[in-house]
Amino acid sequence: MHTSRRKPALVGVISGVLLLVGGVAPALAGPTVNVRVEGESATLLPLTSVTLSAPEPVSGCPADSANAAINLAVESVKGSWDHGDEMGAKGDFTETILGETHIFEQTETTWDVWIDDKWGGGICEDILSEGDEVLVVADYDPQPAYAPTRLPLVVSGVPTSVQAGVPFALQIDKIHTRAGEFPAEGEGTPEPEAGVTISGNGASAESSASGVATLTLTSTGTETLRATKSGDAPSASFTVCVHNGNDGNCGTSNTGSGGTTSGGITLGTSTPSSSTAITARISSLLDGHVYARRKAPRILSGAVTTTAPLEEVELRLTRRGPKGRCSYFDGVTGRFHTMRCGAANGKYFKASNQKLFSYLLPETLAPGRYVLDAQGVGAGGHTSSLERGTSRIVFYVK
Residue 221, domain CATH: 2.60.40
Q: Which pLDDT does position 392 carry in this prediction?
A: 93
Last residue of a domain, one of 212, 237, 258: 258
106 and 38 fall within a common domain: yes
pLDDT band at 25; cut points 50, 70, 90? very low
b/e per residue, 322-337, with b = 16+ CB within 10 A? Answer: eeeebbbbebeeeebe
In a domain, 2, yes or no: no
Q: 55: cis peptide before it, omega within 30°?
A: yes
Helix (H) or strand (E) holding 349: strand 349-352
Does the pLDDT value for residue 46 go beyond 90?
Answer: yes
Q: Which residues contact 198 (CB under 8 A, 6 or more apart)?
A: 155, 170, 172, 204, 205, 206, 207, 213, 215, 225, 226, 227
Domain presence at residue 6: no
Q: Which range among 60-64, 71-75, 92-96, 207-211 has the greatest average pLDDT?
A: 71-75
pLDDT of the residue at 389: 87
- The rounded distance, in Å, linking the Cα atoms of 33 and 115 is 11
The predicted pLDDT at position 212 comes to 85
Number of domains the chain contains? 3
Rounded Cα gap, residues 343 and 321, in angstroms: 13
Band of residue 256 on the pLDDT scale cut at 50, 70, 90:
low
Q: Please tell me which residue, 396 or 20, carries the higher pLDDT value.
A: 396
What number is the average pLDDT over the span 55-77?
88
Q: Which amino acid is at 379?
A: A
Asked whether residue 193 falls in the same domain as residue 210, the answer is yes
The answer to the question of residue 117 being in a domain is yes
Same domain flag for 16 and 111: yes
Q: Which of 148, 182, 210 is a domain's end point?
A: 148
Q: In sequence order, what are the beta bridge partners of 358?
A: 301
Distance of alpha carbon 369 from alpha carbon 354, whole angstroms: 28
Q: 3-class DSSP state for residue 356?
A: strand
Q: Which CATH number goes with the domain that contains 289?
A: 2.60.40.10
Closest residue by Cα to residue 166 from 236, 226, 250, 238: 250
Residue 175 lies inside a defined structural domain of this protein: yes
Among 148, 170, 197, where does a domain finish?
148
Give the model confidence (pLDDT) of 283-332 as tens digits.
888 888 888 887 888 889 888 888 778 999 999 999 999 989 999 999 99
Range of the domain at 49: 12-148
Helix, coil or strand: residue 390: coil
**Among 275, 252, 256, residue whose Cα is nearest residue 265:** 275
Looking at the fold, whether 332 and 387 belong to one and the same domain comes out as yes
Q: Using 50, 70 and 90 to split pLDDT, how confident is the model at 381?
A: confident
| Residue 230 DSSP code | T
Looking at the fold, whether 129 and 29 belong to one and the same domain comes out as yes
5 burial (CB, 10 Å; 0-12 / 13-18 / 19+) is: middle
pLDDT digits (tens, 9 = 90+) for 85-128: 433 344 456 889 999 999 887 778 899 999 999 999 989 899 99
CATH of the domain at 46: 2.170.130.30
Within-domain flag for 282 = yes
- 26 has pLDDT over 90: no
Is 331 found in the same domain as 254? Answer: no
pLDDT given at position 158: 83
Per-residue confidence (pLDDT) for residue 143, from 0 to 100:
67
Same domain, 157 and 226: yes
Is the bond preceding residue 144 a cis peptide, omega within 30 degrees? yes
CB 210 within 8 A of CB 360: yes
pLDDT reported for residue 349: 95
- Position 19 scores a pLDDT of 25
Q: Are residues 321 and 286 in the same domain?
A: yes
**How many other C-beta atoms lie within 10 A of the C-beta of residue 184?**
12
Mean pLDDT (the chain, rounded):
82
Each residue of 341-362: pLDDT tens digit?
Answer: 999 999 999 998 888 888 889 8
| Same domain assignment for residues 110 and 155 | no
Residue 290's beta-bridge partner residues? 396
Ordered alpha helix ranges (H), the chain: 12-16, 66-76, 104-107
168-198 pLDDT per residue, tens: 888 899 999 988 888 999 999 988 899 999 9
In terms of domains, do 232 and 108 share one? no
Residue 25 lies in a domain: yes
- Among 154, 22, 1, which residue's Cα sits nearest to residue 83? 1
The whole-number pLDDT of residue 235 equals 97
Residue 1 lies in a domain: no
For residues 149 and 173, give the distance between their C-alpha atoms in angstroms, rounded to a whole number. 15
Dump pLDDT digits (tens) for 129-155: 999 999 999 998 776 678 899 999 999
Res 393 pLDDT > 50: yes
CB 340 within 8 A of CB 311: no
Residues 139 and 174 in one domain: no
Q: Tell me: do 213 and 123 sit in the same domain.
A: no
pLDDT of residue 74 exceeding 90: yes
Please check whether residue 5 lies inside any domain of the structure. Answer: no
